[in-house]
Amino acid sequence: MSARMRLTLWVTLMVALLSAFVLTAVLVLNRHSLPEDPASYLTSVVLDNAEDVEFDRGRMEWDDLTVYRRGVYCSFYNDEGELLLAADRENTEFAEIPFEANVIRTVMSGDREYYLYDVYVNMTVSGLWIRGVTRTDSSIGITEIILKLTVIILPVILILTFLGAYWISGRTFRPVRRIVETANSINDADDLTDRIGMKRGPKEMKQLADAFDTMFARLEGLFESERQFTSDASHELRTPVAVILAECERAESKKLTKEEYSETIARIEEQGRRMSQLIEELLGLTRMGQGTEKYPLTESDLSEFISMCVEEYIPENDRGISLETDIDSGITAAFNASLISRAVFNFLQNAYKYGRDGGYITVSLRERNGMAELAVADDGIGIAEADLSRIWNRFWQADPSRGAESGSGLGLAMVKGIAELHKGNAEAVSREGEGSTFFLRIPSAAAETDSSC
Ligand code: ADP
């Protein structure tokens, strides 16, 4: 049985039990508060009073007499019809009616019907009329009415309870159904883009749906980066593998001179290095997609760290290019040292690669608008405006032949990933033939302190 049906049946059963309990309580209380048959009860109250009439040294003893009991009003008159005692002495509506002993009569007062019963108590001194009055409907069939109403209303209440509980539990469990459907559709169609996307609903269910959506998004990210890695790796490794195989075939022909063998081995080695660099870069990019779990951020002095990275950088071929630094001291930020050194390395490598012979490179670090801004400027070949937005894409190269000796087209994609992981951004400003400046901005510690204050 489904959880929805169980809950519905439980609520309905509880309401049925509660109704039965309340009904029993009402019937029991009713039995004690009002007599079943008002006429016979009226008679018994009046006769009780008649038995209790006493005289004490010529004076009436009123203390034991009852003027009101459970719907019955009693009044006491002398032989002359004068009212001696009543629950409400002002109320004389029945006083005019002539006495008639031991007979139950039905009288009207206003539009209400009453039973009236008189008893005459004959005493030696004088006589006493006791008149009792009660409404004819004071208890008539009240039990029956309650039972009849119960027979009609209880099923209606139970049906409404069942339907209401079924509807509410249906709405409550809808996100669970949606979660199951989404999980199944992901399973069946291999489509990780599907989400529960619950906008409204019970708080706990919304939290559950949101948690699942976050998990689906994370899974999607992981699968996507794995897919990207596999496709990139197979695509990019195809060329060096083909070159290596061709070189091996050539070497196997055994008609090569010693020099040709050395050349072949050198080419195989170069392709091997290229493949190893590519795999390393691809793995770096893939890991970065998994966020700060793999690359935790630590707050420390960024100025010192950048200066150290620039000092340690050894250009592959310096071509007379001069390197200057303009780093503001004391800028701190939360960053991952291995990633930031990677970004500095990529910027410098590009600046040397695409820089002008005998030109210059400037590395600067400033704090602007809560961001630590690293800028690497060169006066090299620059980038065409149309290409500026594409340089951050994986494997994009303006002219692969220009930097083919060491480039893979992954360097800037990695810098962009590094910026995003630090919740910052990367940007390039360039003019073809004049030079480029590459920026990496990450939130500085000063900004974080400001926002947390
Ligand atoms: P690559 O390994 O080819 O350098 P990158 O991702 O680092 O890959 O750069 C992508 C492309 O952006 C390069 O191929 C080059 O065309 C262009 N580029 C990057 N840096 C510079 C620069 N400093 N000057 C001119 N072009 C650049």
60 Cβ closer than 6 Å to some ligand 1 atom: no
| pLDDT value at 170 more than 90 | no
The confidence score (pLDDT) of residue 36 equals: 64
The confidence score (pLDDT) of residue 452 equals: 47
278 Cβ closer than 6 Å to some ligand 1 atom: no
What Cα–Cα distance (Å) separates residue 83 from each residue in 90, 107, 212, 230? 10, 19, 85, 111
CA 25 to ligand 1 center in whole angstroms: 88
Tell me the pLDDT tens digit for each residue of 291-344: 666 788 999 999 999 999 999 999 987 789 999 999 999 999 999 998 999 999
User: Cα 88–91–94 angle (5° rounding)?
Assistant: 115
Asked if residues 199 and 178 have their Cβ atoms less than 8 Å apart, the reply is no
Which of the two residues, 87 and 261, has the higher pLDDT score? 261
Tell me the pLDDT tens digit for each residue of 171-220: 888 778 877 887 788 777 667 787 877 777 778 878 888 888 888 888 88
350 Cβ closer than 6 Å to some ligand 1 atom: yes
| pLDDT value at 373 more than 70 | yes
Residue 409 Cα: closest atom of ligand 1: 8
CA 425 to ligand 1 center in whole angstroms: 17
Is the model's pTM score more than 0.85? no
**Closest Cα to atom 14 of ligand 1:** 397
Q: How confident is the model at residue 56 (pLDDT cuts 50, 70, 90)?
A: low
The confidence score (pLDDT) of residue 201 equals: 73
Share of the chain above pLDDT 70, in %: 90
Asked if residues 101 and 128 have their Cβ atoms less than 8 Å apart, the reply is no
pLDDT average, residue stretch 410-433: 93
Tell me the pLDDT tens digit for each residue of 18-39: 888 888 887 777 666 656 678 8
Looking only at the bridges linking them, the beta strands covering 59-61 and 72-78 are unpaired
Buried b (16+ CB within 10 A) or exposed e, 83-115: eeebeeeeeeebeeeeeeeeeeeeeeeeeeebb
CA distance 337 to 443: 15
| pLDDT value at 451 more than 60 | no
The confidence score (pLDDT) of residue 228 equals: 77
| pLDDT value at 355 more than 60 | yes
343 Cβ closer than 6 Å to some ligand 1 atom: no
Tell me the pLDDT tens digit for each residue of 74-86: 998 888 888 888 8
Spatial neighbors of 2 by CB under 8 A, at least 6 apart, are none
354 Cβ closer than 6 Å to some ligand 1 atom: yes
Q: How confident is the model at residue 132 (pLDDT cuts 50, 70, 90)?
A: very high
pLDDT average, residue stretch 230-249: 85
CA 402 to ligand 1 center in whole angstroms: 9
CA 411 to ligand 1 center in whole angstroms: 8
| pLDDT value at 104 more than 60 | yes
Helices (H) and strands (E) counted in the chain, each on its own, are 9, 15
Mean pLDDT over each residue of the chain, to the nearest integer: 84
- One-character DSSP codes across 127-156: EEEEEEEEETTSSTTHHHHHHHHHHHHHHH
Of 248-252, 360-364, 387-391, the range with the lowest mean pLDDT is 248-252
381 Cβ closer than 6 Å to some ligand 1 atom: yes
